[in-house]
């Protein structure tokens, strides 16, 4: 069983629309417009990811009591956490697709971080809500040893750290990659030209 949709609040639907339809290539297929239970009204936009069973959705809110214009859209920042903790990850089916997605982000003016996590390969950038978004390709298979280790980590206070990433590569928008260095998620996103 998968999930049907993830719904997030947005401040700038035009920027969200550009990013998710033009850059991410998710198609806007539906909007629900109506009154909000607490007052005011809202638009609820749905972007199809692959088929008619998986969506990402965004709320544009109007005149809602208690909702101010300065609400926080970054999920991690709203929770007082580092940027990389709360993030949105989408799957890809091949390394070629992952590379194409990275090139698309760069061409659209977004800096990209690429990490080989040893069991999956990921690229990251930030959306207009300042949330970390990821495309991820699973490259390994899970073993009983993996499960045993995961179950043990649920209760241990003295963990054995996982193997560090095989590689971290920073790709500047419309530029060449630089290998190595630390994963600095806070610096990702669209460059102002």
Say if residue 105's pLDDT is above 80.
Answer: yes
In this predicted structure, what is the pLDDT of residue 6? Answer: 97
Total residue length of the chain: 193
Section 62-85 average pLDDT: 95
Class of domain 75-190: alpha beta
Structural fold of domain 5-62: 2,3-Dihydroxybiphenyl 1,2-Dioxygenase; domain 1 (3.10.180)
Say if residue 180's pLDDT is above 60.
Answer: no
Say if residue 14's pLDDT is above 70.
Answer: yes
Q: Given pLDDT bands bounded at 50, 70 and 90, which one contains residue 133?
A: very high
Q: Do 5-62 and 75-190 agree at the fold level?
A: yes
Q: Which residue has the higher pLDDT, 177 or 14?
A: 14
DSSP result, 134-185: EEEEE-S---HHHHHHHHHHTT-SSPPPPPPPSEEEEE-TTS-EEE-S---G
> What are the residue boundaries of the structural domains of the chain, listed by start?
5-62, 75-190
Q: Given pLDDT bands bounded at 50, 70 and 90, which one contains residue 193?
A: very low
Residues of the chain above pLDDT 90, percent: 85
In this predicted structure, what is the pLDDT of residue 186? Answer: 62
What distance in Å separates the CA atoms of residue 114 and residue 92, rounded to the nearest whole number?
14
In this predicted structure, what is the pLDDT of residue 181? Answer: 47
Section 118-130 average pLDDT: 97
């Amino acid at each position: 069983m998968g999930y049907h949709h993830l719904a997030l609040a947005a401040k700038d639907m035009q920027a969200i629309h550009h990013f998710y339809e033009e850059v991410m290539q998710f198609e806007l297929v539906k909007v629900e417009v109506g009154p909000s239970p607490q007052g005011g009204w809202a638009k609820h936009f749905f972007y199809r990811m692959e088929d008619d069973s998986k969506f990402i959705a965004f709320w544009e809110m109007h005149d809602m009591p208690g909702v101010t214009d300065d609400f926080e859209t970054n999920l991690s920042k709203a929770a007082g956490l580092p940027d990389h903790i709360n993030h949105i990850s989408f799957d890809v089916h091949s390394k070629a697709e992952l590379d194409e997605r990275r090139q698309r982000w760069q061409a659209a003016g977004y800096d990209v971080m690429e990490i080989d996590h040893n069991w999956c390969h990921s690229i990251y950038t930030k959306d207009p809500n300042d949330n970390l978004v990821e495309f991820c390709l699973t490259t390994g298979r899970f073993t009983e040893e993996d499960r045993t280790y995961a179950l043990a980590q649920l209760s241990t206070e003295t963990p054995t750290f996982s193997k560090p990433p095989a590689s971290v590569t920073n790709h500047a928008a419309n530029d060449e990659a630089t290998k190595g260095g630390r994963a600095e998620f806070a610096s990702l996103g669209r460059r102002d030209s």
